Chain A
Amino acid sequence: MNQPASPSLFQFVLYMADNCLVLGHRLGEWCGHGPVLEQDIAMTNISLDLIGQARLYYQYAAELEGKGRTEDDLAYLRSEREYTNALLVELPNGDFAHTIARQFLFDAWHLPFLKTMLSSPDPGLADIAGKAVKEVTYHLKWSREWVLRLGDGTEESQLRMQVALDEAWMYRLELLMPAPFEQWLIDAGVIAGPDEIREEWERTITDTIREATLVLPEDPAVQTGGKTGIHTEHLGHMLADLQYMQRAYPGLEW
């Protein structure tokens, strides 16, 4: 028996897809520019993991919507205002420390959240979590170790890691602040609420920062808006790059 899918579920799946695609694309921008060959490959591997996850979410979203749109339509033909990724993932790469700070703060949320999604009563979400959780376990290991290495490294690397962390700090909380579509799903028991992951999330971040001999940023400012389509100045430029081919040559395949 087919029940119409909840619009909130569709919006949530798109939100997860957008997070993965935007961060995956950002990491892909490092291709050929990594600080060393091995890290160039590490970042593009993570990029491909995230883009693979984005595809699973977009395919599922297209199926839930049931209006004939495909994963490609959802990725390439929605405007900046229709993208609902968290602001954190669209921040520019900056130097390597900025990329690491962004990645670490995202992974610190992503992994515990996916672990809760494993037991979602929605089989589509649980399936995607099952595949993604292994990849993201490695992402967090990688980004965490780089925070430690740069923080507890040279004077220069420590300074850069601290600056990067301070700058990304105000974007980290948006991930734990439910948008209306998330609140609907939390109330319906389909996804976990922020309280279920807050402790692990907080411990990962504070323990890592302490171990890296860095200073926990104290800035109370919080930036939000991504989940409702209000983005930083950076996303539009990124989408222009990402969507160029489909916009210039509609329907192009290769």
Chain B
Amino acid sequence: MKEWPLWEVFIRSRNGLDHKHVGSLHAADWEMAIENARDVYTRRNEGVSIWVVESKYIHASDPEEQDSMFESARDKVYRHPTFYDIPDEVGHM
């Protein structure tokens, strides 16, 4: 059982919402992973849909590269759509 791969679990809590990462678990195959996810993560009525993906297929950005990846976006305020006057008739956006 130590050889069972790790799976990442994503749950959609309601129709219309996105699947959200909720945690990980071990399972021998994807069917067992979905059943385990159902038993571990939806027993208090948390979900209407489950995705699982083997953890090894998830590639992540490197925390060491935080600055070059994300820092430079911070002073580019012009990328936010905050420089327009929105007519009152448009209402809440």
Interface residues of A (CB under 8 A from B): 35-39, 41-42, 45, 141-142, 145, 149
Contact = CB atoms under 8 A, between A and B. Distances in A.
6 contacts: A37-B40, A38-B40, A39-B36, A145-B35, A149-B28, A149-B32
Given A41-B43, A45-B43, A36 B26 contact: yes
A142 B1 contact: no
A36 B43 contact: no
A3 to B, nearest CB: 39
Interface residues of B, number: 13
Contacts of B31: 145
A42 B4 CA distance: 17
B27 interface: yes
Among A36, A37, A142, max chain B CB count under 10 A is at A36
Interface in B4-40: 4, 25-28, 31-32, 35-36, 39-40
Given A37-B25, A145-B31, 8 more contacts: A38-B36, A39-B36, A41-B39, A42-B35, A45-B43, A141-B35, A145-B32, A145-B35
A191 to B, nearest CB: 31
A90 B62 CA distance: 54
B39 A42 contact: yes
Nearest to A48: B43
A38 B27 contact: yes
Contacts of B39: 38, 41-42, 45
Nearest to A35: B1
A42 B1 contact: no
A142 B27 CA distance: 14
Contacts of A36: 1, 4, 26
A35 B36 CA distance: 13
A226 B87 CA distance: 78
Contacts of A38: 25-27, 36, 39-40
B36 A42 contact: yes
Given A145-B31, A149-B28, A41 B40 contact: yes
Contacts of A35: 1
A39 to B, nearest CB: 8
A36 B26 CA distance: 9
A141 B31 CA distance: 11
Contacts of A45: 39, 43
B28 A142 contact: no
A142 B43 contact: no
Among B4, B28, B35, B39, max chain A CB count under 10 A is at B39
A39 B25 CA distance: 11
Contacts of A41: 36, 39-40, 43
A111 B4 CA distance: 31
Nearest to A45: B39
Minimum-distance CB pairs A-B, first 7: A38-B36, A42-B39, A41-B39, A45-B39, A36-B1, A38-B25, A41-B40
A145 B34 CA distance: 12
